[in-house]
Every structure is written in structure tokens, then in C-alpha cells.
Amino acid sequence: MTQTVSRPAGAQQAPLPLDVEAIRADFPILTRTVRDGKRLVYLDSGATSQKPRSVLDAERDFYETCNAAPHRGAHQLAEEATGRYEAARATIGAFIGAPAEEVVFTRNSTEAINLVAYALSNAATAKEPAFRRYAVGQGDEIVVTEMEHHANLVPWQQLCERTGATLRWLGLTDDGRLDLSDLGTVVNERTKLVAVTQQSNILGTINPLGEISARAREVGALLLVDGAQSVPHQPVDVTTLGADFLVFSGHKMLGPTGVGVLWGRYEVLDALPPFLTGGSMIEVVRMEGSTFMPPPQRFEAGVPMTAQVIGLAAAVEYLQRLGMDRVQAHEEALTGYALEKLAGIPGVTVIGPPDTVARGGAVSFTVEGIHPHDVGQVLDDLGVEVRVGHHCAWPVVRRYGVPATTRATFYVHTGYDDIDALADGIREAQRFFGVGQGEVS
């Protein structure tokens, strides 16, 4: 649930829920400077997050003390590596309220979504009848939204092209929310799967999954939730989510690159054929054909990204120590402050919900008369690192009639001072390009 941060105008800023100074000391990269000695103001956690020392230490410790290929070999190192790998699976599962056997490791959210999309098309031709239950084919429909990251759109377009299924989507309202007015017709008896983001990476919107889940249940469709921008920033519990799948990326939640998670309800995972095949995922292999392990091993072909999985478990433990409720409250306070600051700069327009109700900390905006790239360049010159462009959500920027946006995203080490630096930087860009604040170009 989200709470609205209310603060009397002009009053001292309320203390933030997290101790920003103490947290910053945990992130080695935040001690460096950029662009000729400027303090690094990292406002691009939505693209990838920085890593605390405990995550880096966990990876290093694995390599230094028990590096071996898990689930192979019977020597001591292999046993220890397997133990650490599976312990990490349990830790990461518990973080989202899931038992370990429902947690599949992938490279990132993108691969997790592709895994499901390919399993659904592979199901049509699977020789095992048990794997055909969720087969997608001609006459079936897949539903996405106009708000999706390309990673939760293109794999479904491709699934439809492979199978002859039809892609349908829910549109957006002018204030950056999902338009659910036609939910009842877009999601119907032909719908096989609904794929929707929990938190928009560009608008910041937190979507009403309950309503979508109820409709998916009603028509017997699967629900996949893209949690790449929600799992790092708010408590997520799969026992109350109402979904069949949840995907997220380690590198966006203080963890290493190269590891992501597909959570699936066991019953559903168990009825899916594999996506990638090879070592570790097999039961019996003969020259004539092979049988496969149960989930999660069925979906983890090859030697896994062991050190990264262990690093991700350390990231999860770091977040648990802070408390996800407080992480969310922290970002909500920052978002409220940022929205207030940006509203005070003439010529700046926020693309997305204008207040903190059902909204996360991705703040996209345009500056009248200055292209986002140029805004980003001026900010970069001041040490403020933001994302510019279409944020891998091209249909969203198109929907709002802008070529691109500048986006600031927040995390546990972000403080009011970072947002002040952003606001000052925008004013500097206006001054540099001679626009806004009463000046003419």
C-alpha cells in the first residue's frame, strides 16, 4: 500500500525514513567523483543500481573459498558451492514469500519473460502431453499494456508471430495510469496470458494488479507480473500478488548483473516444457531422446551464475536489514519532494502521475525548449547522472507525444541533497540554453 506524504509548504523537510549518510558509506562507488571532481549524484538506479560492499564481498568470498560448479561432482567444493547456491535460492524466495522450488534463476527479467514466452510456444509441439496444457496457438490472445518495458512487450509480439496468436493491449490515461475501462473485453475467454508491469519504469505508476488478476482468474488466463521496478523498491509477496509468474532482475536491486529471477506457481511451472536445454536440466539422456528434471532445475540449463546468485542473496539480506516498508516510504518521501521541486521550475512537465498516490520513484520529465539529451548533458557536467531517451518504453513516450524524456530514479542512498542537485541542474540547463525563467531562446 502507498501512503501520501504530506508536508506543510515551506517547512523543514521531514527526516527521511532511511539514514542516507550511513547507507552511502556502504557503497564504495559513491566515494568517487565525476567530471572534474564533482560529487557523484547517481539518479539512474532504475537502469541499474549501485552495489553495497556486502554484495561485492559475498561474490569475492564465494570465488575465494568454495568456487565449484553446483549440482555436479561429489567433491567437497562442489558440495559447498551447491549448498551456497541453494541457500541463496531459499533466501531470495523468502524475500518474495515463495518456496525455493518456485524460484528459477535466469540472466535477468528479460530472459525470464522470454523463458515463459518460449515455453508457451514450445508447449504446442511438446511430445509429452503434460507439457501441452498451456500451449498457445491460433485463436488465442495475449494481453499486455501500452506501459510495458520493451522486455515485456517484444517477447509477446514474437510469441504471437510464432504461434498465430493475437496480441492485445490495455491503453493509458492522460495522467499516466492504465486505462482499465475495457479490461472486461480486452481480457476475455480467448486470453491465455496477461503480462503487466507492477511499476512503470518510465512513469513510476504502480498498477492495480488486484483488478487485473481478478479478471485474468475469471477467464482462466495466466498472469505474469514484471517486477523489475517493483521488487527492488516495495514489499512484494507472491502469496497475495494474485499472479502466476513474477520476474525481476538482480542488478536493479543492489545485486550483481547477470542474475534474474522467474518465480512461478509450482503447478504452472511443472506443466511447462523447457526453454533452454542441455546439462543440469535433464533426468535421463539417451541418443534417441531425453527426459527433464522437475522445476526449478528444468529451467536452469548449464552451469549457473553461481557467484551472482550468492551476491543477489547478499543484496536481499541488505534490503531486509533496511526493511522494504522503509525503503518504500523513503522513496515515496523523495518522490514527493522531487515532484514538488520540479513543479516549481517553469517549463518542466512531469510525464506520469503528478502526486505520490500509487506511484514509485521513477520521475520522467521534459524541459520546454531543451531536448532531453541536452538536459542530460548539462546534468552530467554537474555530476548528476540521469537517464535520457525512451527508456526502452518507446510506445509510452509516443503516447505522450514527446520524443524522449529525462528520467531520475531513486534508491536507498538517495537524499534530498541529490534532488536539490537535480533541480539546480535543470535550472542551469535552462540558463545555458537560454530558455525558461522569462528568458527567450
Partner 1 sequence: MQLQSMYQEIILDHYRNPHGRGLREPFEAEVHHVNPTCGDEVTLRVHLDGDTLADVSYEGMGCSISQASVSAMYELVIGKPVDEALATGEHFMTLMQSKGDASVAEKLEDELEDAVAFAGVSKYPARIKCALMSWMALKDASARALSATSTTPAGGQQA
Q: Are 42 and 383 in contact (CB under 8 A)?
A: no
Q: Which of 96, 392, 412, 419 is catalytic?
A: 392
Using CB under 8 A as the binding rule, whether residue 36 contacts partner 1 is answered as: yes
Residue pair 49/254 in contact by the 8 Å Cβ criterion: yes
Q: Give me the DSSP letters along 14-76.
A: PPPSS-HHHHHTT-GGGG-EETTTEEPEE-BTTT-----HHHHHHHHHHHHH----TTS--SH
Q: Which is nearer to partner 1, 9 or 440 (CB)?
A: 440
- In the complex, minimum distance from the CB of residue 382 to partner 1, in angstroms, rounded to a whole number: 9
| Residue choice 372, 383, 415, 436 for contact with partner 1 (CB under 8 A) | 372
What are 105's strand-pairing partners?
A: 261
3 state SS of 141: strand
Tell me which residue of 46, 42, 425, 432 sits closest to 229, measured CA to CA.
46
Whole-angstrom Cα distance, residue 182 to residue 356? 25
CB closer to partner 1, 263 vs 365: 365
Number of residues that bind partner 1 (CB under 8 A): 19
Q: Does 146 bind partner 1 (CB under 8 A)?
A: no
The answer to the question of residue 373 lying near partner 1 (CB under 8 A) is yes
Instruction: Please report how close the Cβ of residue 388 comes to partner 1 at its closest, in angstroms.
Output: 7
Among 389, 416, 420, 424, binds partner 1 (CB under 8 A): 389
Q: Is 66 a catalytic residue?
A: no
Residues 16-35 that bind partner 1 (CB under 8 A): 35
Burial label for 146, CB within 10 Å (0-12, 13-18, 19+), is middle
39 near partner 1, judged by CB under 8 A: no
Q: Is there binding between residue 149 and partner 1 (CB under 8 A)?
A: no
Shortest distance, CB of residue 364 to partner 1, whole angstroms?
Answer: 13
CB < 8 Å & 24+ apart, contacts of 150-155: 150/392, 150/393, 150/394, 151/109, 151/110, 151/113, 151/226, 151/228, 151/392, 152/109, 152/113, 152/195, 152/196, 152/197, 152/224, 152/226, 153/395, 155/110, 155/113, 155/114, 155/117
Per CB under 8 A, 403 contacts partner 1: yes
- Closest contact distance (angstroms) between CB of 204 and partner 1 is 20
Q: Which of 14, 26, 377, 416 binds partner 1 (CB under 8 A)?
A: 377
Residues paired with 286 in a beta bridge: 289
Nearest distance from C-beta of residue 403 to partner 1, angstroms: 5
Choices 12-20, 251-259, 355-363, 387-395 (CB under 8 A): range interacting with partner 1: 387-395
Q: Which of 209, 315, 388, 421 binds partner 1 (CB under 8 A)?
A: 388
Amino acid letter for position 173: T
426 in contact with partner 1 (CB under 8 A): no
Based on the shown chain and the rule CB under 8 A, indicate whether residue 162 belongs to the binding site for partner 1: no
C-alpha cell at 400: 505522450
Contact assessment for residue 299 and residue 274, using Cβ atoms and an 8 Å cutoff: yes
Nearer to partner 1 (CB atom), residue 46 or residue 415 = 46
Mapping DSSP onto H, E and C, the string for 59-109 reads HHHHHHHCCCCCCCCCCHHHHHHHHHHHHHHHHHHHHCCCCHHHEEEECCH
Cα–Cα distance for residue pair 191/188, rounded to 1 Å: 5
Residue 374 within binding range of partner 1, rule CB under 8 A = yes
The reply on whether position 97 binds partner 1 by CB under 8 A is no
* 416 scored as a contact of partner 1 (CB under 8 A): no
Cell of 103: 524460484
**Of these, 56, 277, 355, 432, which contacts partner 1 (CB under 8 A)?**
432
Per-residue contact string for residues 313-352; x = within reach of partner 1 by CB under 8 A? ----------------------------------------
Q: How far is the CB of 136 from partner 1 (least distance, A)?
A: 28
Find the helix or strand (DSSP H, E) in which 114 lies.
helix 109-122
Residues carrying an active site annotation: 392
Which residues bind to partner 1, rule: CB under 8 A? Answer: 35-36, 371-374, 377-378, 381, 388-390, 394, 397, 403-404, 432-433, 441
